[in-house]
Copies of this chain bind each other. A is one copy, B any other.
Amino acid sequence: MYNTGVPARGDHDARRRDVSEAVWRVLATRGFGGLTLRAVAAELGASTGLLTHYFPNKKALVTYALDVADERTASRRVREVQVEGLAALRSALMDVLPLTPDSAAMNRIWVSSWDGALADPELVVREKNRYQDWRERLRSHVAAAVERGELPASSDVDGVVATVAAFTHGLVVQALFDPERFPAVRQTEILDAFLMSLSGC
């Protein structure tokens, strides 16, 4: 009885889900700095040799991990909000802030990805594009808020978009390092005061 090494399609998909889950657990506990074939193999209860088949080198593993993180991030954005303008902007920023343990885990993984990303020209482009996609999504809310008179008509829309993205990620990092000082209710207060100041009230 020989194993041909070519699993049936169903096995392949199931195995991929297992690998994704193992990669995610490694990222959630150790970050990208702790992402190694050995760590993923241990999570998976598999041999490092098997994983070498999937990931011939570290870069392949990191790229795969970023794909997993992208998928999980996108799947968090499915809920449609029934609000527009400034309220929609607030909702979009609340979605990013680490207000729950799940969101804190997600953020911790993204923040930890920046080290390796800054060291690799291809990953710099990938992260630059992710930022640009995020700003595009925020831009529609900012533009609508200006149109609705919720933000000053004189606003430099791209500047406001960069400002709200900056504020949000910067608060993410502070909250990750100091969750006692920045529990969900405090993050929300700070966000609301920030949006109020943008609106000129």
Contacts and interface: CB of A to CB of B under 8 A. Distances in A.
A182 B115 CA distance: 20
A128 interface: yes
B112 A119 contact: yes
Contact of A193 (B118, B159, B178): B159
A116 interface: yes
Contact of A33 (B119, B174, B189): B119
Interface stretch (A10-18, A75-83, A142-150, A163-171): A163-171
Interface in A34-71: 34
Contacts of A94: none
Nearest to A160: B193
A89 B170 CA distance: 17
Contacts of A169: 166, 169-170, 173-174
Interface string A166-195: 111111011011100010000001100110
B115 A31 contact: yes
Nearest to A152: B197
B115 A116 contact: yes
Contacts of A31: 115-116, 118-119
A87 interface: no
A197 B198 CA distance: 5
Contact of A166 (B116, B156, B167, B177): B167
A131 B178 contact: yes
A35 to B, nearest CB: 10
A177 B128 contact: yes
Given A131-B177, A165-B174, A193 B115 contact: no
17 contacts: A30-B119, A31-B115, A32-B33, A32-B115, A33-B33, A33-B119, A115-B115, A131-B178, A156-B193, A162-B190, A165-B174, A166-B171, A167-B167, A167-B170, A168-B170, A170-B170, A197-B197
Given A166-B169, A200-B200, 13 more contacts: A31-B118, A108-B118, A111-B114, A111-B118, A112-B114, A112-B115, A113-B115, A128-B178, A160-B193, A163-B194, A166-B167, A169-B170, A169-B174
